[in-house]
Homo-oligomer: A and B are copies of this chain.
């Protein structure tokens, strides 16, 4: 149990990343509201998802501190922090649809805008061993798109430089001596996310400035993939800024 104050936190999305955050936040004693597009559809699934995660209903039964709600209700239930775990190619539309519920809150975005191309055999995600492609890229970023679409929300880009399973458990990688990054326009929002990261076990959180730095954080996906391919499937890793 953590010494942090018990708060209500929302996690949008029911994939592996969202599950990692929801489970950790519940373990830290927070009240966790997970958002999904269609609660009945999410609970009706009986097969593992495309990433091999067990059906959500099964996962939920193992995590009694977590409730499942429609996106807007989950976001509305949060005191302050909402974690966006919606796929990159759906994020702007889904978040814009619940702008009122998000208004004034801190939205932590960790999505990478991997291209979604329905003409490919694997429209999404990029298969193992293949260098991913991004859209937007270079002159814009998903973090900036979300902030522009939701001017009343304080967007913080973070968590994006490694797998979410080790974001919530940094000590599982090299004893925890590696670096997490935050970027965004609002200093108080970045402070709140840094406090959350501290509760997760992070000791080195580097503030990369404004939301424009989302570009670099998202474009790091190619290096992240290449390092992952080099180390081998499933090897946990992180990056330490040595200075």
Interface residues of A (CB under 8 A from B): 131, 133-134, 137-139, 161, 173-174, 177-178, 181, 183, 206-209, 212-213, 215-217, 219-227, 229-231, 235-243
In contact, A212 and B131 (Cβ under 8 angstroms): yes
- CB nearest neighbor in B for A177: B242
Residue among A174, A207, A208, A212 facing the most chain B CB atoms (10 A cut-off): A208
In contact, B227 and A237 (Cβ under 8 angstroms): no
In contact, B217 and A223 (Cβ under 8 angstroms): yes
In contact, A240 and B243 (Cβ under 8 angstroms): no
Shortest beta-carbon distance from A191 to chain B in Å: 15
In contact, A209 and B230 (Cβ under 8 angstroms): yes
Q: How far, in whole Å, are A216 and B131 apart by their CA atoms in the complex?
A: 8
In contact, A240 and B237 (Cβ under 8 angstroms): no
| Other-chain residue from B161, B213, B221, B229 in contact with A208 (beta carbon distance below 8 A) | B229
Q: How far, in whole Å, are A241 and B226 apart by their CA atoms in the complex?
A: 12
**Apart from A173-B242, A217-B223, A220-B220, 8 more pairs, CB < 8 Å:** A133-B138, A134-B138, A137-B138, A206-B227, A216-B220, A217-B222, A217-B226, A239-B240
Contact sample, A vs B, 13 pairs, CB 8 Å cutoff = A133-B138, A134-B138, A161-B223, A207-B230, A209-B229, A209-B230, A213-B226, A216-B223, A219-B222, A220-B220, A236-B243, A237-B243, A239-B239
- CB nearest neighbor in B for A176: B242
| Other-chain residue from B138, B216, B239, B243 in contact with A226 (beta carbon distance below 8 A) | B216
- CB nearest neighbor in B for A239: B239
- CB nearest neighbor in B for A224: B216
